[in-house]
Structure 1
Amino acid sequence: MNRRTFLRSAGVGATALVAGCTTEQVDGGDGGGNDSGTTADGTGTTTGSTDADGETLTVATYSSFVDAPSSSPGPWLKEQFDAEFDATLEWQTPENGLNYFIERQLQGIEPGADVYVGLDTNMLIRLDEKLTDPLFASVGSGALSRRGEVKESLEFDPQGRAVPYDTGYISLVYDENAVTAPETFDGLLKPEFEGDLLTQNPTSSATGRAFLLHTVAAKGEDGYLDYWRRLQDNGVRVLGTWEDSYAAYSNGEAPMVVSYSTDQVFANAEGEDMSEHQIRFLNDQGYANPEGMARFETSENVDLANRFMDFVLRPEVQAEIAVRNVQFPATTTAELPEEFAKYAHEPPEPVTFTYEELKGNLSEWTDAWAKQFASK
Structure 2
Amino acid sequence: MDRRTFVSTLGSGAALGLAGCLSRDDGTEDGGAGETEDDGTLTVVTYSSMIDGTNPAGPWLKEAFEDEHPDAELEWIQLPDQGIAHYVQQANAGQGIDADVYLGLNVDDLVTVDDGLDGGDGGLFRELDFASVERADRVRDGLEMGDPHGRVLPYDTGYICLVYDESEVDEPETLETLTEPAYEDVLVTQNAQTSDPGQAFLLWTIDAFGEGGYLEYWRELGANGVRILDDWTDSYYGAYMEEERPMVVSYSTDQVFASAEGHDLTRHQVAFPDDQGYANPEGMAIFEDATNVALAYDFFDFVLSSAAQAEIAQRNVQFPAVEPEYADLDEAFDRYAHVPPEPVTVGYDDLRENLDGWVDDWAREFASR
Normalised TM-score (structure 2): 0.84
Task: Note the residue ranges of structure 1 that are not aligned, 5 or more in a row.
Answer: 8-52
Is contact 1:2-1:118 (8 Å) kept? no
Structure 2 counterpart of 1:343: 336
* 1:196-235 Cα deviation digits (max 9, x unpaired): 1111221222211111110111111111112112212222
Greater RCO between the two (CA within 8 Å, min separation 6)? 2
Aligned-residue offset at 1:277: 0.5
TM-superposed deviation, 1:139? 0.8
8 Å CA contact 1:181, 1:256 repeated in 2? no
Aligned with 2:257 (options 254, 258, 266): 266
Q: Which residue of 2 aligns with 1:80?
A: 64
Q: CA deviation at 1:94?
A: 4.1
1:151 aligns with 2:140: yes
Residue 75 of structure 1 aligns to which amino acid in structure 2?
Answer: P
Distance 2:364 2:245 in 1: 25
Q: Which residue of 2 aligns with 1:93?
A: 78
Structure 2: state its 5+ residue gaps.
Answer: 8-37
Give 1:298's match in structure 2, choosing from 266, 285, 289.
289
Residues 191 and 74 of structure 1, relative CA distance in 2, 3 Å threshold: same
> Contact conserved, 1:197 with 1:254, CA < 8 A, in 2?
yes
Aligned-residue RMSD, C-alpha: 2.0
For normalisation by structure 1, the TM-score amounts to 0.83
How many aligned residue pairs are there?
Answer: 330
In the aligned structure 1, how far is the partner of 2:67 from the partner of 2:243? Answer: 48
Equivalent position SS for 1:208:
helix
Deviation at 1:81, TM superposition (A): 0.8
Determine if the alignment matches structure 1 residue 356 to structure 2 residue 341. Answer: no
1:120-140 deviation line (CA, Å, top 9, x unaligned):
111111111222462110112
Partner amino acid for 1:106? Answer: N
Q: Equivalent residue of 2:353, what SS?
A: coil
State how far apart, in whole Å, the 1-side matches of 2:189 and 2:87 are: 31
After TM superposition, give the deviation of residue 271 of structure 1 in Å. 0.7
Paired residue secondary structure (2:199): helix
Q: Conserved in 2, the CA contact under 8 Å of 1:315 and 1:335?
A: yes
Q: Is the 8 A contact 2:162 2:247 kept in 1?
A: yes
Find the counterpart in structure 1 of residue 155 from structure 2: 165
Give me the whole-angstrom Cα distance separating, in 1, the residues matched to 2:366 and 2:308.
Answer: 43
Q: CA deviation at 1:152?
A: 2.7
Contact 1:168 / 1:327 at 8 angstroms: preserved in 2?
yes
Q: 1:306 to 1:2 in 2, by over 3 A?
A: farther
Farther off after superposition, 127-136 or 257-266: 127-136
Instruction: Tell me the amino acid that sits aligned with residue 162 of structure 1.
Output: V
Equivalent position to 1:199, from 189, 192, 215: 189
Aligned twin of 2:52: 67
Structure 1 moving runs of 4+ over 4 Å: none
Write out per-residue CA displacement over residues 133-157 of structure 1, whole angstroms, 9 at most, x where no aligned residue. Answer: 6211011231211112212311112
Q: Distance in 2 between matches of 1:234 and 1:109?
A: 48
Measured in 2, the distance between the counterparts of 1:358 and 1:99 equals: 16
Bigger Cα displacement from structure 2, 304-313 vs 327-336: 327-336
